[in-house]
């Protein structure tokens, strides 16, 4: 089984090295692990640091956004024939040691997509993160008819079937909810597993803001009627 770990990164020179060095070298049930970093138009040393850590790097000349980076990751996974794709954030909020927990349901069960949910374990979080996520969960359920505890999670795993079938259109943050639209459209089976999230002043600066919520909802409505 060939595992691809895909990491979208925009101006992440401070954290990308630590994230890459924390990725497990061996995972039970996996024969090979490749890491690809999509350097999404960074103007710092993200690309250099990622290459020094041994990652494959694909660079966007301009910043295309989270959705644009994920589209490139999915395209790369399809081209390389990956059996499983795991995506995680570059800002250090995800614990790479939990990658085996995301992969396990795909290896052992009839599951296409695994979502790492912070809310199944997290007891306290910044109120802005709680508000953004729960609003997005509600709109995701209303628009696409699917219930999830963490629609904005960047920590996910996809099997080969879902890699082939998911077709993302969004370039922005709304892509996280669009993934659930694709789960419904393609009748994929998904499962949530609890994951750790580490909120730092750095990761809070990098993530979604309440001010973006209106635009995200607007883009989701556009996606619904495409």
Task: Give me the CATH number covering residue 200.
Answer: 3.90.550.10
Environment class of 12 (CB within 10 Å of its CB; exposed 0-12, middle 13-18, buried 19+): buried
Question: What is the pLDDT, as a whole number, of residue 203?
Answer: 55
DSSP result, 99-150: HHHHHHHHHHSS-SEEEEEGGGT-S---HHHHHHHHHHHHHHHHHH----S-
DSSP 205: H
Give the mean pLDDT of 81-95: 96
**N- to C-terminal Cα distance for the chain?**
35
Q: Which residues of 179-196 are buried (b: 16+ CB within 10 A; e: fewer)?
A: bbbbbeeeebebbbbebe
Question: Per this entry, what is the length of the chain?
Answer: 226
Tens of pLDDT, residues 186-220: 999 999 999 988 766 665 566 555 455 555 555 55
- Kindly state the tokens that stand for 181: 């639209």
Radius of gyration of the chain (CA): 16
Domain span at 212: 2-224
Please give the tally of structural domains in the chain: 1
Among 12-16, 39-43, 128-132, 179-183, the minimum mean pLDDT is found in 128-132
Tens of pLDDT, residues 124-145: 666 566 677 777 778 888 888 8
Share of the chain above pLDDT 90, in %: 67
Mean pLDDT score of the chain: 88
Give the mean pLDDT of 154-180: 94
Give the mean pLDDT of 159-173: 94
Give the mean pLDDT of 106-118: 94
Judging by DSSP bridges, how do beta strands 156-159 and 113-117 pair with one another?
A: antiparallel
Question: What is the pLDDT, as a whole number, of residue 185?
Answer: 95
């Amino acid at each position: 089984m060939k595992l691809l770990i895909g990491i979208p990164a925009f101006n992440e020179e401070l954290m990308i090295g630590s994230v890459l060095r924390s990725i497990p070298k061996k995972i039970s049930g996996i024969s090979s692990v490749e890491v690809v970093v999509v350097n999404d138009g960074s103007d710092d040393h993200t690309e250099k640091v990622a290459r020094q850590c041994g990652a494959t790097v694909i660079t966007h000349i301009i910043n295309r956004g989270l959705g644009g980076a994920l589209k490139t990751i999915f395209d790369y996974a399809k081209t390389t024939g990956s059996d499983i794709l795991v995506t995680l954030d570059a800002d250090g909020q995800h614990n790479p040691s939990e990658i085996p927990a995301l992969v396990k349901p795909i290896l052992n069960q009839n599951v296409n997509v695994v979502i790492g949910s912070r809310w199944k374990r997290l007891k306290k979080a910044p109120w802005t993160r709680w508000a953004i996520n729960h609003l997005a969960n509600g709109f995701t359920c209303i628009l696409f008819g699917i219930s999830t505890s963490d629609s904005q999670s960047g920590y996910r795993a996809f099997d080969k079937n879902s890699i082939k079938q998911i077709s993302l259109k969004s370039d922005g943050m709304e892509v996280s909810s669009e993934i659930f639209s694709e789960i419904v459209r393609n009748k994929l089976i998904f499962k949530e597993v609890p994951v750790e999230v580490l909120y730092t002043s750095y990761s809070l600066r990098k993530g979604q803001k309440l001010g973006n919520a209106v635009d995200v909802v607007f883009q989701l409505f556009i996606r619904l009627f495409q």
